[in-house]
Amino acid sequence: MAGQVEGKVALVTGGASGIGEAIVELFAREGATVIATDIDELRGPELAKRITKAGGQAIFLEQDVTSEERWIKIVAEIAKRYGRLDILVSNAGIGIAVPSIVDMTLGDWRKQNAINLDGVFLSVKHCLPLMRKTGGGSIVMMSSLAGLRGAPGLSAYSATKGGVRLFAKSIAMECAAAGDGIRVNSVHPGIIDTPIWGKIPTGATGAGQNAPIDPEERARVATPLGRAGQAAEIASGVLYLASDASRYVTGSELVIDGGMNAGGVQRRA
C-alpha cells in the first residue's frame, strides 16, 4: 500500500528532536523523502542514518532558522538534489520562561521572536517559490496552545505562537488568491513530553525557575485527558495536514491538546 506522503519531498525544521523528530520519522515511514534541518549537529545526522538504515529516505542539513543566508542555501540545495518541495513543516522553536514580563530583557524577547517568528517568516519566504514551481503542496506551521490562550510566565513565547497562528492564515489566503495549490495550516499542541521542557531557558536575568519542568506532572493536573501528549501524537496530525487527505483544509488550526482548550474537567479518582 502506498504511504500517505509517498513520493513527496518534505522539509522539517527543528527536525532533530521531539515533535520534529517524530514528524521526520513518520513522513519517511509514509514514503516521503525528508530533509531534516536543525542546529543540533549530533542528533540530526544520527536520525537521518537511522531512517536510511531502516529503508527510508532522509538527509540532515545543519540550519539555524534565523539565518536568511542559510535559508537561501538550504532551498538551493533542495532544488539541486530533488528539483521540488511538496511539504514544509516550520517546527523549530524555543520557549523562554520568566515569571514576570518585567524580568524579560529585550535581548531575550528578540531571541524568542527570532527563532519562533522570524524563522517561520524566512521559511515561507524562501520555500514558497520552489513549492510553487513544484505545482502545489502543504505548509504546516507549529504554533501551540499558547498561541490560542494566555500562558503566564511564557508571555513572549505566547506572543510568537499567536503570531504564527495568524501568519499561517494570512499566507493561506495569499496562496489561495494566487491559486498556487498550496495549503497552509497551523498546529497547536498542548503539553507534549519532549526535551523542550528540560531546557526552557529562564532568560538573561536568571529570574525564572531553574528546576526543569516535568511535563507529565503538569499535564496530570492541567489536561482533561490526564496525561502529557507524545510527539508521535502531534506527528500524526501533521501528517494529515501534509497529505492529500486534507486537500480541502487551509487556513485552519489543528488543536492536539488532550482537551485543554475545550475546558476543564474533574476526573474521578
Ligand X SMILES: NC(=O)c1ccc[n+]([C@@H]2O[C@H](COP(=O)([O-])OP(=O)(O)OC[C@H]3O[C@@H](n4cnc5c(N)ncnc54)[C@H](O)[C@@H]3O)[C@@H](O)[C@H]2O)c1
* Residues at the interface with ligand X (CB under 6 A): 13-14, 16-20, 38-40, 63-66, 91-95, 115, 142, 144, 189, 191-192, 194-196
Judged by beta carbon, residue 37 or residue 134, the one nearer ligand X is 37
| CA angle, residues 108, 191, 141, in degrees to nearest 5 | 65
Catalytic residues: 157
Minimum gap (Å) between residue 13 Cβ and ligand X: 6
- Residue 135 C-alpha cell reads as 505545482
- Residue 216 C-alpha cell reads as 507529565
Q: Quick check: 225 and 259 in contact, CB under 8 A?
A: yes
The CA distance from 47 to 16, in Å, is 7
Minimum gap (Å) between residue 39 Cβ and ligand X: 5
- Residue 30 C-alpha cell reads as 509514509
Minimum gap (Å) between residue 240 Cβ and ligand X: 17
Q: Quick check: 124 and 220 in contact, CB under 8 A?
A: no
Judged by beta carbon, residue 144 or residue 246, the one nearer ligand X is 144
Minimum gap (Å) between residue 188 Cβ and ligand X: 7
**Alpha-carbon Rg for the chain in angstroms:** 18
The CA distance from 196 to 207, in Å, is 19
Q: Quick check: 94 and 115 in contact, CB under 8 A?
A: yes
Minimum gap (Å) between residue 122 Cβ and ligand X: 10
* Helix residue spans in 136-230 (DSSP H): 155-178, 215-222
Judged by beta carbon, residue 132 or residue 218, the one nearer ligand X is 218
Minimum gap (Å) between residue 253 Cβ and ligand X: 12
Which helix or strand (DSSP H or E) is residue 183 part of?
strand 182-189
Tell me the Ramachandran region of residue 93: left when phi exceeds 0, alpha when psi lies from -120 to 50, beta otherwise: beta
Judged by beta carbon, residue 116 or residue 243, the one nearer ligand X is 116
Judged by beta carbon, residue 105 or residue 113, the one nearer ligand X is 113
Judged by beta carbon, residue 93 or residue 137, the one nearer ligand X is 93
C-beta neighbour count of 196 within 10 angstroms: 17
Q: What are phi and psi of 206, to 5 degrees?
A: 70, 20
